[in-house]
Structure 1
Amino acid sequence: MKFLKWFLVVVAVLALLFFFVFRPYMRKQTKTHSPEITNVYQKNDFDLSVTYSSPKKKGRVIFGELVPYDVVWRTGANEPTKFSTSTTIRIADKSLAPGRYSLWTKPGKESWNVIFNKGIPDWGVTVLSGGKETSRNPEEDVVEVTVPTEILNDTIENFTIDFEDNGELFMSFSWDKTKVKVPINK
């Protein structure tokens, strides 16, 4: 009985250390290598924001190797990418209600699936999978669209998500020599 009490105390102390020391330390460390960025678009009755962690290319082959084709990706590093809108919008041809969503992608060679999910998990991948599986619950997907890829002439070193307005609004994803543009309208 005495052993069980000590065992439970040790487990409790280790759990507290994990949640209050190790976990915050790891989050801070991962942000050093893949900084968190928030981009906002507030024009023409749109109030949009996207928050993501921006990893660097560092000489690696990105799409097809580091980020496999045809597998759901957390779309950046660390926590899943978060997207918010204060009004109902259309993502390509599908309606997205006001709210905050996690944003996932399934990169392909010629097109990407872009997925908006109502669940926002704490981390973008599962620990038990060694980072190979996302923490997304597909049952909470609310919008999924497919958009074509563009091949860039210049290499983009840092993964970037931004809003582009050239008379038509897009949310763009750029990294390495790949760019994807998701149309957004009312």
Structure 2
Amino acid sequence: MKQITNLLALNLLFAFAATAQINTPLPSPAGSVSSTVGITEVKIDYFRPGVKGRKIFGSGDEYLEQYGEIWRTGANAGSMISFSTDVKVAGQDVKAGEYQIVSKPGASEWDVMLISEPIGGNESAYDESKAVMKTTVKPSETAGTVERMTFQITDISEDNTSANIRFAWENTMWSIPLEVDFSAAVEDQILGAYSAAAGYYLSKGENLETALDLMNMYLDAGNSGQFWNVHTKARILAKLGKKKEAIATAKDSMEKAKNWPSGDFGYIKRNQELIDSLK
């Protein structure tokens, strides 16, 4: 009877172990840092190995990470960095997206790369042709021991156009410059507001001369091929009683709509109806 009881207890223990979700700390805990530089969201997700009394960077069996060898730059699956817009990293163009940070430590120089196809923790899979950015940096010594590997986004400039991506672990640190250009994006938003305001005034039948000026500014800024906004201009002109100009503008919109690769979205008909109404 006692043996049966012990067997049942053992079975229950195994069943519990199989179904229980035991949450324990990772030896190299996950870390994340993010910041907005200009209008660009920059985020680094990584795993933070600890020194734990070891020698980290050097040559020889006593060192954890060897000079001259590709390193995932972190633990587990490595470190990922993402940019919400196109940026420059170390003066090199990098498209918006997510990349793995890979490096090659050295005594006086480190190679740092961003790769478009992550290799996770498999350093042997590194393919230099997948590097969208490669630069050489000079490491420096930290003021004290940095126990856990750390990434920071630091030194954001007063005009919000630059920052540094900083790495530190044990007694080694380095940084690479990051630049953003938000002028074109902001200008696009301003111009977009011009066309939106012109459309609003047209819908209300108010401030039509202002609406015409705003739409002209928008179209003259390299947007004259947008037949739908050219059509809006034709409608504004019609509301102002400028029939001859409205007809000519509607015809221009119609021709542009005919040549639009993805179709006219009904604007050929709309322009023809506007022209017919003005005759």
Distance 2:141 2:115 in 1: 27
Distance 1:166 1:117 in 2: 24
Q: CA deviation at 1:153?
A: 2.6
Which structure is higher in helix share? Answer: 2
CA distance in 2, matches of 1:166, 1:89: 14
Q: Which residue in 1 is equivalent to 2:98?
A: 100
Which of 44, 52, 57 is the matching residue for 1:58?
52
Select the residue among 75, 78, 81 that pairs with 2:76. 78
| Number of residue-to-residue matches in the alignment | 152
Q: What displacement does 1:54 show?
A: 0.2
- Report whether the alignment pairs 1:90 with 2:84: no
CA RMSD of aligned residues (A): 2.0
| Deviation of the 1:169 alpha carbon | 0.8
Q: Which has the higher strand share?
A: 1
SS at match of 1:139: helix
Unaligned runs of 5+ in 2: 1-17, 181-279
Instruction: Show CA shifts across 1:124-155 (max 9, x none).
Output: 12xxxxxxx44333321111011111112311
Q: Paired residue for 1:43? A: 37
Residue range with higher mean Cα deviation, 48-57 or 162-171: 162-171
**How many angstroms does 1:99 deviate by?**
0.7
The structure showing larger relative contact order (alpha-carbon pairs under 8 Å, at least 6 residues apart) is 1
Contact 2:67–2:106 (8 Å) recurs in 1: yes
Measured after TM superposition, the shift of residue 166 of structure 1 is 5.0
**Counterpart of 2:126 in structure 1: which amino acid?**
R
Contact 1:74 1:81 (8 Å CA) reproduced = yes
**Normalised by the size of structure 1, how large is the TM-score?**
0.75
Q: 1:111 aligns with which of 102, 109, 112?
A: 109
2:97 & 2:124 partners in 1: Cα distance?
22
Change (3 A) 1:134 1:39: farther
- Consecutive unaligned residues in structure 1, runs of 5 or more: 1-20, 126-132
Q: Which of the residues 111, 121, 124 maps onto 2:121?
A: 124
Other structure's SS at 1:58 match: coil
TM-score, normalising length: structure 2: 0.51
* Matched residue type, 2:80: K
**Which deviates more, 40-49 or 173-182?**
40-49
AA paired with 1:137? D
Aligned residue type for 1:157? E
Give the Cα separation in 1 of the matches to 2:92 and 2:149.
26
Letter in 1 for 2:131: D
Contact 2:110 / 2:136 at 8 angstroms: preserved in 1?
A: yes
Matching residue of 2:145: 155
Whether 2:13 is the aligned partner of 1:33: answer no
- The Cα shift of 1:34 comes to 0.3
Deviations 1:74-116 (A, max 9, x none): 0000002111001111111111110111110111111211101
User: Are 2:125 and 1:135 aligned?
Assistant: yes
Name the CA distance, whole Å, in 2 between partners of 1:80 and 1:153: 25
Identity of aligned residues (%): 28
* 1:42-88: CA deviation from partner (whole Å, max 9, x where unpaired): 13222111111000000111111211111110000000211100111
